[in-house]
């Protein structure tokens, strides 16, 4: 399969099909689809493309443990990206859409950081109309482009992204190659989210079936993500809800915990500010304990690796899975989620508590 080349500032840069797979949002990937005469109808009617598109979206779901590899077929892989955009957009689920955009952007960031051809990275930056240049000192980004991507989201909380902490020369900000990749991640995510804003009036029944499948599967894991609770100050260990106390004691004794039980205990302790090492140590007596893997999974649930801290399952879900140990507890009858148990534990007792579940 032939590659193509484009000219940037008079320099020809080869855009291999492998680059189009890694960076499917670039114009060359769109041109590739057009040259193959793969229009919307051809793509959505291709089962292999649709399946790969669904895999891209499934990979962004929380608690996704499977490793999903790209297709070895170049046309399928490149075509799966716009198809995934269509499917994700059609779900009209803002949380799913945001997670999918972040997932794709993080994958692209990984590719950018390992990119051996710096010209490709600069080409992508220029595709966003960034003003960027290099000299003996390194890479310089125009301050307007720098500010656009550091004045929103999580980067606003990190001191190194403050303009006052940067080397600036005549409106240009000095950045490392790793920082360039991180800023491009923000830009890519924004572009994907913008693409996902497009509403599709009508879908063929085959495509609607794919969309419904995505929505159904996401609903199963959505409770881990969407609810936020005002839990106030962290709880003391004696103020933990009965279900969590039971899980901690079982873990310390080396008893096996189900998947739901592990997520419940870990997410609760994360929200109470318990350090990763301390949580991991609770699993040390369980037969399948692997310290490195356990710490990675805890950091994943804490949002360190995903950017999204997981919530603890609601009490109704815990009852369904047999994790609730004391449904008659007067506080348990008043709350919807274990994270708020200690707030009621700390509060003065009230008469005739009214169940909220």
Please check the confidence at residue 28 and state whether its pLDDT lies above 90. no
**pLDDT, tens only, 141-194:** 999 999 988 887 667 767 889 888 999 999 999 999 889 988 988 888 888 888
pLDDT higher than 80, residue 99: yes
Backbone angles phi, psi at 103, to 5 degrees: -60, -50
pTM above 0.75, yes or no: no
Residue 339, C-beta contacts closer than 8 angstroms, at least 6 positions apart: 229, 231, 268, 271, 311, 312
Query: Parallel, antiparallel, or unpaired: how do β-strands 4-8 and 172-175 relate?
Result: unpaired
* C-alpha to C-alpha distance for 315 and 324, rounded to whole angstroms: 7
Crossing angle for the helix pair 177-196 and 118-127, to the nearest 10 degrees: 40
pLDDT tier at 40, thresholds 50, 70, 90: low
Amino acid 193: pLDDT: 82
With b for 16 or more beta-carbon neighbours within 10 A and e for fewer, the 294-321 pattern comes to bbebbebbbeeebebebbbbbbebbeee
Residue 72 has pLDDT above 50, yes or no: yes
Among candidates 295, 285, 273, which has minimal Cα distance to 249? 285
Higher pLDDT, 83 or 62: 83
**DSSP at 70:** P
pLDDT at 24 over 60: yes
Which position has the higher pLDDT, 355 or 276? 276
Q: Examine the pLDDT at 127 and tell me if it is beyond 90.
A: no
C-beta of residue 73 within 8 angstroms of C-beta of residue 48? yes
The predicted structure's pLDDT at residue 206: 85
* pLDDT at 249 > cutoff 90: yes
Q: Decide if pLDDT at 311 tops 80.
A: yes
111: left (phi over 0), alpha (psi -120 to 50) or beta: alpha
- For 35, residues 6+ apart whose C-beta sits below 8 A from its C-beta are none
Tens of pLDDT along 181-237?
Answer: 889 888 888 888 887 777 766 788 888 899 999 999 998 887 766 556 667 778 888
Please provide residue 35's backbone torsions phi and psi, each rounded to the nearest 5 degrees: -65, -30
Count Cβ atoms within 10 A of the Cβ of residue 4 and give its class: 0-12 exposed, 13-18 middle, 19 or more buried. middle
Q: Which of 303, 287, 241 is nearest to 268 (CA)?
A: 241
Q: Alpha-carbon distance 237 to 176, whole Å?
A: 44
């Amino acid at each position: 399969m032939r590659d193509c080349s484009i000219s940037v500032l008079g320099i020809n840069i080869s855009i291999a099909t492998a680059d189009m797979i890694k960076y499917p949002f670039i114009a060359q990937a769109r041109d590739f689809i057009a040259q193959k005469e793969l229009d919307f109808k051809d793509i959505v009617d291709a089962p292999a493309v649709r399946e790969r598109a669904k895999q891209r979206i499934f990979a962004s779901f929380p608690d996704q443990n499977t490793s999903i590899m790209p297709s070895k077929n170049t046309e399928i892989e490149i075509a799966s990206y716009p198809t995934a955009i269509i499917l994700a957009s059609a779900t009209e689920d803002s949380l799913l859409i945001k997670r999918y955009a972040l997932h794709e952007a993080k994958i692209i960031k990984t590719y950018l950081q390992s990119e051996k051809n710096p010209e490709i990275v600069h080409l992508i930056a220029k595709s966003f109309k960034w003003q960027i240049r290099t000299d003996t000192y390194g890479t310089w980004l125009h301050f307007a482009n720098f500010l656009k991507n550091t004045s929103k989201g999580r980067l606003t909380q990190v001191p190194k992204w403050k303009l006052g902490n940067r080397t600036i020369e005549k409106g240009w900000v000095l950045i490392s190659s790793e920082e360039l990749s991180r800023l491009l991640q923000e830009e890519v995510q924004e572009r994907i989210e913008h693409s996902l804003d497009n509403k599709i009036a009508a879908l063929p029944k085959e495509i609607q079936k794919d969309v419904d499948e995505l929505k159904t599967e996401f609903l199963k894991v959505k409770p881990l993500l969407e609810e936020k609770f005002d839990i106030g100050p962290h709880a003391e260990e004696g103020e933990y809800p009965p279900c969590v106390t039971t899980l901690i004691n079982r873990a310390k004794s080396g008893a096996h915990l189900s998947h739901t039980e592990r997520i419940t205990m870990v997410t609760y302790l994360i929200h109470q500010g318990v350090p990763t090492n301390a949580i991991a140590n609770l699993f040390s007596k369980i037969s399948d304990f692997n310290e490195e893997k356990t710490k990675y999974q805890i950091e994943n649930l804490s949002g360190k690796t995903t950017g999204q801290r997981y919530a603890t399952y609601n009490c109704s879900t815990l009852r369904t899975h047999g994790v609730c140990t004391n449904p008659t507890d007067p506080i348990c009858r008043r709350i919807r989620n274990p994270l708020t148990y200690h707030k009621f534990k700390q509060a003065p007792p009230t008469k005739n508590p009214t169940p909220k579940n």
